[in-house]
Amino acid sequence: MGTRKKVHAFVRVKPTDDFAHEMITYGDDNKTIDIHLKKDTRRGVVNNQQTDWSFKLDGVLHDASQDLVYETVAKDVVSQALDGYNGTIMCYGQTGAGKTYTMTGATENYKHRGILPRALQQVFRMIEERPTHAITVRVSYLEIYNESLFDLLSTLPYVGPSVTPMTIVENPQGVFIKGLSVHLTSQEEDAFSLLFEGETNRIIASHTMNKSSSRSHCIFTIYMEAHSRTLSNEKYITSKINLVDLAGSERLGKSGSEGRVLKEATYINKSLSFLEQAIIALGDQKRDHIPFRQCKLTHALKDSLGGNCNLVLVTNIYGEAAQLEETLSSLRFASRMKLVTTEPAINEKYDAERMVKNLEKELALLKQELAIHDSLANRTLVNYDPMDEIQIAEINSQVRRYLEGTLDEIDIINLRQIQEVFNQFRVVLSQQEQEVESSLRRKYTLIDKNDFATISAVQKAGLMDVDGHLVGEPDGQGFGLGVAPFSIKPGKKSKSKKTIKEQFSSSARKEGASSPVSKELEVSTSKSQLTPSSKDGDVKDMLLRDRETSNTSDSPKEELRPLRPSTPPSKPVAFEDFKNERGSEINRIFKENKSILNERRKRASETTQRINAIKREIDVTKEALNFQKSLREKQGEYENKGLMIIDEEEFLLILKLKDLKKQYRTEYQDLRDLRAEIQYCQHLVDQCRHRLLTEFDIWYNESFFVPEDLQVAVKPGCSIRPGMMPVSRIVSLGEDDQDKFSQLQQTMLSEGPDSISFYNAKVKTEQKQNYLKTMMGFQQTQRK
């Protein structure tokens, strides 16, 4: 086990314009926060009210950016997790103090992302830096709402809602949630998609202190498993990171909660109170019992609170004078948390498959050493492999001959042979017992004395002697053996046997007499029922054919036209029909132009990434070249015929820099050409979109608003040309999500290439939510 260490506790102060500078001050070491209250003069002259508090923590984060918060709080915990140490990062504080912003951040802006998305990015970055290990990452998202457990990722199509409620289960390996789905993520974008999916399912509400208040505790867990790519290493490490976003404590008088929000606040305050009780018990070294089972929150975090993990607490507080009482309460909780000690240890496990392979390799080496030892001792015929069927049969023959007396002794070569000889003795003995029993059964009738049903049948058959005992003397094994005495008449015995046989035969005849008749009746009945039905079906088919033929011959040949609906369809539905029918050609051209545009944008994105990579390499090369120049200047410069002499390494760096600049200029020129093509393709796509919308509006008005008697007038060749109908409104197709994402990618790529997966996952989640909302609205419209 590892050494015990105390929990790290940090305080983050929410920025505000009304900061209480006179009441809240920070120490010079940026690790101390002092609270000062003015005395209440209404208590009189004798006033023992405490007015000053000082809290010593691991760091105070005031006006700190999201980058600084992550570097200070979570970076070390995540890096140690890949080495096999469990970690937990918890945000605690008053409602509206910024816990969710600290943990999750603002998903709309990449720079304002919180601890959770940054931890996911760091995990996948560190995996790329460890090519010697095969690391798998899985995630889960748990919500504790009103003391009930919910899976925030159950809305995924391949998960579905759980039939049985989730429960917290403890085993020797730790605490886990039974029924919680765990998802494998192979890349950063998949992990962000799962995070955003869970965030959309969280329960939030609004009150006077927070417009988007989290009404539940959420635990996002990252599970990691690292296997060495070296086949000889059967050890592997596992770890997990719990990222806990606690719901905020509330003073009901300030938040003004009512109804459902009031009930949620009651559950939240109750669970936070139990959490504080567990922290107090963990900080007391004399306490033997820790009340983890008082609520679901403390039970689920049993491994994290005082367990074998690195625990970090971030306490979010207000800096305003009106919230000073809640600020003091939060700081007291942080100071109590610092008294808790944990014992981080590496979670090592063994791969059974690799262990078997290593043992097999070790066994082969030991066999080789035994062979060398036997050759040195002149024992050349020793074989240590498991015996085959031929060798076992030979030993069996030797054992039989030894028991019969034809073989004086059995030659012993190794331990395997000794074990097999004893095994064959057992086999021969069991075979002899079976042969004796079978020979006895052929000569005598054997009856088990414990089988009372058989005994009663034998008594009825008259197979008992005068004294009421079984025929013959018992052999001591539960069987009666012997010859029937003369008092039993053979005729009577045969008659009784015959009577039994007659009874069985008569009963069989009775059953058999009824069976064939019933079968014949069933078959004949089924046939009689099937035959007319098939004939009736043929007659009906013929009548239907005749009727259709007559209708076809009688009716005049005329063009079939679809009936106009009583109410026009909605424009989205009609637009899909238009794209498949009249506007199919324009829609095809629109799709082709759009696919070309997307392909050019993709190439431009790849070119931009290559340019950024070349630029970074140029910067690194310049730094190395400057270092070589400074080193040359320190050591002294050498000249030959007016030319500066440089070493080979500096010369290679100059050549490399020259090639990189040439590549940069080439790639940049390609990017400029691609941007020009993208601009032209975008112009074509906009034209096709406008044409498609215009044609659709004309078709929609003429198809559903023009009277049927005037439809002839708008046909080709008539006086009214298409487009002369009044346009009431235009269906705005607009830019789809793919266009928005492509434009966003173009603007953000040069500033932060690492943000692509973040925004890509965000767009996919928004597309899914928009689709679900549209389908729900469509279903509600159908019900009406």
Q: In which element (H, E) is residue 74 found?
A: none
Exposed, middle or buried by CB within 10 Å (0-12, 13-18, 19+), for 562? Answer: exposed
Q: In which element (H, E) is residue 215 found?
A: none
For residue 166, give Cα distances in angstroms to 170, 172, 179.
Answer: 13, 19, 5
For residue 600, give Cα distances in angstroms to 386, 588, 595, 614, 698.
Answer: 67, 18, 9, 21, 33
User: Is position 59 annotated in a ligand binding site?
Assistant: no
User: Is position 93 annotated in a ligand binding site?
Assistant: yes
CA distance 681 to 694: 20
User: Is position 777 annotated in a ligand binding site?
Assistant: no
The amino acid present at 411, given as its one-letter code, is: D
For residue 50, give Cα distances in angstroms to 38, 45, 54.
Answer: 9, 14, 12
User: Is position 97 annotated in a ligand binding site?
Assistant: yes
CA distance 741 to 767: 11
Per the structure block, which two tokens stand in for 314?
A: 């971030």
Q: What is the DSSP string of 386-402?
A: PP-HHHHHHHHHHHHHH
Exposed, middle or buried by CB within 10 Å (0-12, 13-18, 19+), for 165? Answer: exposed
Residue 160 CB partners (closer than 8 Å, separation 6+) = 154
Other CB atoms within 10 Å distance of the CB of residue 380: 8
Q: Are 313 and 9 in contact (CB under 8 A)?
A: yes
For residue 605, give Cα distances in angstroms to 452, 550, 745, 746.
Answer: 89, 67, 8, 7
Largest CA distance in the chain: 143
User: Is position 95 annotated in a ligand binding site?
Assistant: yes
CA distance 141 to 183: 10
User: Is position 94 annotated in a ligand binding site?
Assistant: yes
Residue among 82, 83, 100 at smallest CA distance from 91: 100
Residue among 20, 15, 36, 53 at smallest CA distance from 331: 53
CA distance 312 to 307: 13
User: Is position 715 annotated in a ligand binding site?
Assistant: no
Other CB atoms within 10 Å distance of the CB of residue 740: 13
User: Is position 283 annotated in a ligand binding site?
Assistant: no
Exposed, middle or buried by CB within 10 Å (0-12, 13-18, 19+), for 677? Answer: middle
Strands of 583-699 (E only): list them: 638-640, 643-645
Strands of 563-691 (E only): list them: 638-640, 643-645
Q: Where do we find the tokens 């009482």?
A: 325
Q: In which element (H, E) is residue 9 found?
A: strand 8-13
Residue among 182, 168, 167, 149 at smallest CA distance from 299: 168
Per the structure block, which two tokens stand in for 547?
A: 């009727």
Numbered residues of the known binding site: 93-100
Numbered residues of the known binding site for ATP: 93-100
